[in-house]
Structure 1
Amino acid sequence: MHNNQPTIVIRRATATDCPRLMELIRELALFEKAPEQVTVSLEHFILSGFGQHPVWWAFVAECDGIVQGFALYYIRYSTWKGQRMYLEDILVTEPMRGKGLGKLLFERLLEEARETGLNGMVWQVLEWNEPAIRFYKKYNADLDPEWINCSLTFQ
């Protein structure tokens, strides 16, 4: 019997993963119908994750040596709850969806949050992204429609 299952490894992202992560971020922006919104440079992205004062961390899902998914997070502070993990983005490439990579990445995030003493995890999901909403509901996530997203962009 020959097993054709890919070898899946969940590991911490490294600086050398950044070009591939940027490709996946562009894929995510395309999926979210906003490809023109990705304006960060690769240099800034690398510096922000691996410079002297990192502000983000990530895990990658590697299949047979190729990064096919990632989950990028940072620590936010809630005056009500304390330190919490903020999941900025989670993505599995389209051909690899449905193979459990998202579940492995998400559960690795939960493990990381618990291990580092954080008291929870928060994130956003687009209201039309039904597959993601179904995925999060499996974890009994609280989906709160009451809050409105706000942002300012400086030129």
Structure 2
Amino acid sequence: MEIRIRRAVKEDCARLLELINELAVYEKAPDEVTVTLEHFIESGFGAQPVWWAFVAEADGQVEGFALYYIRYSTWKGQRMYLEDLIVTEKMRGNGLGKMLFDQLITEAKAQQFNGIVWQVLEWNAPAINFYKKYKAQFDPEWINCSITV
């Protein structure tokens, strides 16, 4: 099996949305994905992109991706925010997640970000164990908040 990590291109967006829907099912929220393909494409490849991504291809098929954007911390400065790290169920355990995460670390260093931040569901033991291998710090102090407008 040939595995390749590369930057996402516009033509990947339909496949990325498929994987996002797969993740939503895994996270027990299949009805929560409401973004349209058009909005997703415009947000990543329009005049003012707000997200960037790397994809993991196995034998030419996109089987995973890591999507991030720039977060600004008044305490720390620019940081990479990892929105999603997804590997298809059938390809988990083949190292794609590690390759994608390592690529994010390389990118964060190249962009001179001072860190990477993300969220993980408290019940997602496989993801938590994956991040522990990187000596990630888990912060039980902060509560996530959001509103829909």
Structure 2: which 5+ runs fail to align?
none
Instruction: Give me the TM-score of the superposition, normalised by structure 1.
Output: 0.95
Secondary structure of residue in 1 paired with 2:66: strand
Q: Alignment partner for residue 90 of structure 1, among 77, 85, 89?
A: 85
Q: Alignment partner for residue 49 of structure 1, among 35, 44, 49?
A: 44
State the match for 1:141 in structure 2: 136
The separation in 1 between residues aligned to 2:138 and 2:126, in whole angstroms, is 14
Secondary structure of residue in 1 paired with 2:134: coil
Whichever residue aligns with residue 18 of structure 2, its letter is: E
CA RMSD, Structure 1 to Structure 2 (Å): 0.4
Whichever residue aligns with residue 42 of structure 1, its letter is: L
Write the mapping of 1:13-92 to structure 2, written as runs, cut at 5 A.
13-92=8-87
Secondary structure of residue in 1 paired with 2:31: helix
Which 4+ residue blocks in structure 1 deviate beyond 4 angstroms? none
The separation in 2 between residues aligned to 1:96 and 1:69, in whole angstroms, is 8
Structure 1: which 5+ runs fail to align?
1-5
State the match for 2:95 in structure 1: 100
Instruction: Give me the TM-score of the superposition, normalised by structure 2.
Output: 0.99
The separation in 2 between residues aligned to 1:105 and 1:75, in whole angstroms, is 17
Query: How far apart are residue 91 of structure 1 and its match?
Result: 0.6
Give % identity: 72
The separation in 1 between residues aligned to 2:144 and 2:31, in whole angstroms, is 19
Count, aligned residues = 149
Query: How far apart are residue 50 of structure 1 and its match?
Result: 0.1
Whichever residue aligns with residue 128 of structure 2, its letter is: I
